[in-house]
């Protein structure tokens, strides 16, 4: 019942074989030009979903919204990389300082208290990742957003979006967020930590907006 941008819902089968997914757009309409717009919209939606769902190729056997995927990666399960005690922020890549981790954890606590949605952050460099083990550790459900910061494929921002979150947040938000704060030019200049912090605050702002046709239309 979840969505790292190909929307399937967590719990789902491993996306380690992301490369095997094939898009099958409907036959090109030849009689009615008016149908062409619908066909293009449908195809683009499937293409975006494919791009977003490649996060599990970063080592998580969940369904993730990733931005770039050069090749399929084998799923990883390394529970030994998990902290001894629960934490909503896990940094196995060393991108964040202790102070940054504490600030992000506090913001995540506030998000859950105010909105009911759970945000979880994993910073990693594939294949050094706890991978599948985070699913049980974090008790990932359909109200959970799993944010994986991994520069493996260029764009550092990848998201796994639970089904209930998917109902309230436009799918385009995740691709726009990744495009703004996850692109290689941004995190190379500002640092991986800056990308992670900016993304968490953007998600916080989005989740606090009233649900409607224009919510989360801007990445703040």
The closest of 152, 149, 217 to 182, measured between CA atoms, is 149
**Which residue in this structure is represented by tokens 């550790």?**
137
- According to the model, what pLDDT value does residue 76 have? 84
- According to the model, what pLDDT value does residue 74 have? 62
- The strand ranges marked E within the chain are 89-91, 118-123, 144-149, 157-161
pTM: 0.72
- According to the model, what pLDDT value does residue 153 have? 86
96, 34 contact by CB (below 8 A) = no
Return all residues near 195 (Cβ < 8 A) that are at least 6 apart: 149, 156, 157, 181, 182, 186, 187
- According to the model, what pLDDT value does residue 7 have? 37
- According to the model, what pLDDT value does residue 43 have? 39
Whether 104 shows a pLDDT value over 50: the answer reads yes
Which of the pair, 171 or 50, is modelled with greater confidence?
171
Q: What is the Cα–Cα distance from 7 to 62, expressed in whole angstroms?
A: 11
Q: What is the Cα–Cα distance from 87 to 134, expressed in whole angstroms?
A: 11
Domain 36-208 has CATH 2.40.50.140: no
56, 63 contact by CB (below 8 A) = yes
- According to the model, what pLDDT value does residue 79 have? 94
CA distances from 200 to 119, 133, 157, 206 (A): 8, 22, 10, 10
- According to the model, what pLDDT value does residue 75 have? 73
């Amino acid at each position: 019942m979840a969505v790292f941008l190909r929307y399937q819902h967590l719990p789902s089968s491993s996306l380690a074989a992301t490369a095997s997914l094939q898009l099958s757009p409907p036959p090109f309409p030849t009689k009615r030009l008016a149908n062409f717009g619908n066909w293009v919209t449908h195809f683009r939606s499937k293409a975006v979903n494919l791009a977003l769902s490649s996060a599990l190729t970063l080592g998580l056997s969940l369904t993730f919204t990733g931005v770039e995927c050069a090749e399929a990666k084998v799923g990883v399960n390394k529970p030994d990389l998990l902290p001894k005690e629960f934490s909503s922020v896990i940094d196995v890549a060393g991108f964040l300082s202790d102070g940054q981790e504490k600030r992000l954890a506090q913001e995540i606590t506030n998000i859950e208290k105010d909105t009911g949605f759970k945000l979880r952050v994993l910073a990693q460099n594939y294949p050094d990742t706890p991978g599948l083990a985070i699913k049980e550790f974090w008790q990932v459900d359909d109200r959970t957003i799993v944010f994986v910061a991994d520069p493996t494929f260029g764009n550092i921002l990848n998201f796994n979006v639970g089904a209930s979150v998917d109902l309230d947040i436009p799918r385009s938000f995740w691709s726009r967020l990744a495009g703004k704060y996850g692109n290689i030019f941004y995190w190379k200049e500002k640092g991986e930590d800056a990308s992670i912090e900016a993304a968490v605050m953007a998600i916080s702002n989005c989740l606090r907006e009233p649900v409607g046709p224009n919510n989360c239309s801007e990445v703040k």
